[in-house]
Chains A and B, each alone.
Chain A
Amino acid sequence: DTGVSQNPRHKITKRGQNVTFRCDPISEHNRLYWYRQTLGQGPEFLTYFQNEAQLEKSRLLSDRFSAERPKGSFSTLEIQRTEQGDSAMYLCASSLIVLQETQYFGPGTRLLVL
């Protein structure tokens, strides 16, 4: 069973550019979560999907951020007009809704905005 994969692993961009990250969850996992982690902090929740439905978005997710999960498989997270404050590690996790849920994380995408 392959784990969660994320691409790209690293992204360097200039302020004002748009970036898109991809997450491929563990197959058959119906929940997918996005988190953001800045240096020296724990991950913070951004949004999550159950199948293709986006069920909750954090206040951290400004209108420059958008996430999709077409067909309930992979997910994309897009940041428009990037700012230096967007520099962080973006983590994706997936889980299977059962009696007891555990989230499994991918390796993350490290974003640096110059």
Chain B
Amino acid sequence: AQKVTQAQTEISVVEKEDVTLDCVYETRDTTYYLFWYKQPPSGELVFLIRRNSFDEQNEISGRYSWNFQKSTSSFNFTITASQVVDSAVYFCALSRTGANSKLTFGKGITLSVRP
């Protein structure tokens, strides 16, 4: 069975602070995908990143960066110089590769960025 744990439930920061959202996963599969999605108040899930299990290279995209560590089964997400528009619920998710790629989501982290 697959499981995603997002231990943080709510985080509040002041604009321009850096913030890290934690994600820990469990799977017996040797190959898998990890994802982060953003859900703003409008409700639509917005895809942010996909990471393959065989690629542990960290990734940076503008103010966003992701740290994948297979040894600790973690896939953490850092927002640098946070902005009010970053306020949303962030979900980490896990899927198998191949036939059924259904996503297993964590419970989400509510990020509030105050001006």
| Chain A residues with a Cβ under 8 A of chain B | 31, 33, 35, 40-45, 48, 55-56, 89, 91, 93, 95, 100-108, 110
Give the complex CA separation of A44 and B103 in angstroms.
8
Cβ-defined contact, B33 with A48, below 8 A:
no
Q: Using known A-B contacts A42-B91, A107-B42, determine if residue A102 contacts B104 with beta carbons closer than 8 Å.
A: no
Cβ-defined contact, A42 with B43, below 8 A:
no
- Chain B residue at minimal CB-CB distance from A43: B105
Cβ-defined contact, A105 with B50, below 8 A:
no
Main secondary structure of the interface of A (DSSP, over half): strand
Please, could you name 7 A-B residue pairs with CB atoms under 8 Å apart, sorted by A?
A42-B106, A44-B105, A100-B52, A105-B46, A107-B42, A107-B43, A108-B44
| Chain B residues with a Cβ under 8 A of chain A | 4, 33, 35, 37, 42-47, 50, 52, 91, 93, 95, 97, 99-108
| B residues less than 8 Å from A55 (CB atoms) | 99-100
Pick from B100, B103, B104, B108: contact of A56, CB under 8 Å: B100
Cβ-defined contact, A43 with B103, below 8 A:
yes
| A residues less than 8 Å from B33 (CB atoms) | 100-101
- Chain A residue at minimal CB-CB distance from B98: A101
Cβ-defined contact, A102 with B47, below 8 A:
yes
Give the complex CA separation of A42 and B105 in angstroms.
5
Q: How far is the CB of A85 from chain B (nearest CB, A)?
A: 19
- Chain A residue at minimal CB-CB distance from B6: A42
| B residues less than 8 Å from A91 (CB atoms) | 45
Q: Using known A-B contacts A41-B107, A42-B91, A42-B105, determine if residue A102 contacts B50 with beta carbons closer than 8 Å.
A: yes
| B residues less than 8 Å from A101 (CB atoms) | 33, 95, 97, 101
Q: How far is the CB of B69 from chain A (nearest CB, A)?
A: 20
Interface centre among B97, B102, B107 (most CB of A within 10 A): B102
Give the complex CA separation of A67 and B96 in angstroms.
23
Give the complex CA separation of A91 and B44 in angstroms.
8
